[in-house]
Amino acid sequence: MRIHTRFAMRVLLALDVPRRLQRLLDMNQRLPDFANTPSDLKVDKPFTVSNPESVSIGNHVRLGPGCVFRPVRKYPGQWLSDDTGEQDQQVFDPTLRVGNGVVATAHLQIFVQSEVDIEDDVMFASNVFINDATHGYATAEIPYKEQLLANIRPIRIGAGSWIGQNVVILPGVDIGELSIVGANSVVAHDVPARSIVAGAPARIIKTWDVDEQSWTPVGGGLHRERLNYSLSVREGPSL
């Protein structure tokens, strides 16, 4: 039996089967045609993207495994359609822009019905969720998945910002450049540039003092231990 196995392996190697299979796998995992042609883009699999023609990605971007980019052109889509033809339909023209040098550790999920703009050098920890719309809840008489999407407003994340682990960013939010969003935060309101926010909903904890070149506590000043916990400093090396 061992002789047959060794012989089969020699035949496969002689025919270069492993390399050919790998080439076939690579062809099946090619990145889609985005709205532009980024250079030095590195994406770990799995990676899921819908309507890639609505996605622009900058140069030198790094996306860890499990990232999902979903510009939504029609709602409900096939996933939630009841096949009766009686559901109301929404049609969108979404735009997702990812700037140069953006880094995401893993499982960055972005859903776009209007516009999401991620500026240069933004850093994402794992499991960040961004959506510029919400499911409708105008009535409690029918399932929410059958109601039209609502509260559709653009989102911007300013250059150089750091978004911590498990953060949720809601519709209409504008995050200023070089800001920090602490882990497990829910961002429902705008974040000023060079500020640190944390909590659910996220509130300003510190702002950058240009004259002192240091972070200044605001809102009564939270304890340093709470700030360090919110920022989850242990996740730094994973980026």
**Are 133 and 200 in a shared domain?**
yes
Residue at token pair 């709470």: 226
| 9/114 same-domain check | no
The pLDDT > 90 percentage for the chain reads 71
Tokens, residue 191: 């974040």
CA angle 171–140–87, rounded 5-degree value:
75
Number of domains observed in the structure of the chain: 2
Picking from 51-65, 100-114, 220-234, which range would have the lowest pLDDT averaged per residue?
Answer: 220-234
pLDDT above 80: residue 210: yes
* Structure confidence at residue 223 (pLDDT): 43
Burial of 83 (0-12, 13-18, 19+ CB in 10 A): exposed
> Are 221 and 173 members of one domain?
yes
107 and 149 in a common domain: yes
Lowest mean pLDDT: which of 22-36, 54-68, 130-144, 172-186?
22-36
Task: Identify the three-state secondary structure at position 113.
Answer: coil
Residue-level pLDDT at 3: 59
Catalytic residues: 135
- Domain enclosing residue 57, as ranges: 34-238
pLDDT tens by residue, 106-125: 999 999 999 999 999 999 99
Are the beta carbons of 175 and 196 closer than 8 angstroms? no
Q: Which residues pair with residue 70 across a beta bridge?
A: 111
User: What letter would DSSP give residue 172?
Assistant: T
CA nearest to 164, candidates 127, 191, 208:
127
Q: Which pLDDT score is estimated for 78?
A: 73
Q: pTM for the whole thing? A: 0.80
CA distance 229 to 183: 8
The answer to whether residues 65 and 20 belong to one domain is no
Are 133 and 119 in the same domain? yes
Among 79-83, 105-109, 136-140, the minimum mean pLDDT is found in 79-83
CA pair distance 77, 49, nearest whole angstrom: 15
Range in 27-31, 144-148, 208-212 the model is least confident about: 27-31
Whole-angstrom distance, CA of residue 132 vs CA of residue 189? 13
Looking at the fold, whether 26 and 82 belong to one and the same domain comes out as no
Q: What pLDDT is attached to residue 129?
A: 98
Do both 21 and 55 map to the same domain?
no
Residues 124 and 228 in one domain: yes
Do 90 and 162 belong to one domain?
A: yes
What CATH number does the domain containing 158 carry?
2.160.10.10
Q: Is 164:129 a contact under the CB 8 Å cutoff? A: no
Mean pLDDT of 8-37: 64
Calculate the alpha carbon distances from 182 to 16, 108, 225 in Å: 50, 16, 13
Are 14 and 124 part of one and the same domain? no
Mean pLDDT of the chain: 86
Question: Are 52 and 68 found together in one domain?
Answer: yes
How far apart are alpha carbons 181 and 158 in whole angstroms? 12
Give the pLDDT of residue 119: 98
Record the tokens describing residue 38, joined without a space. 């980024």
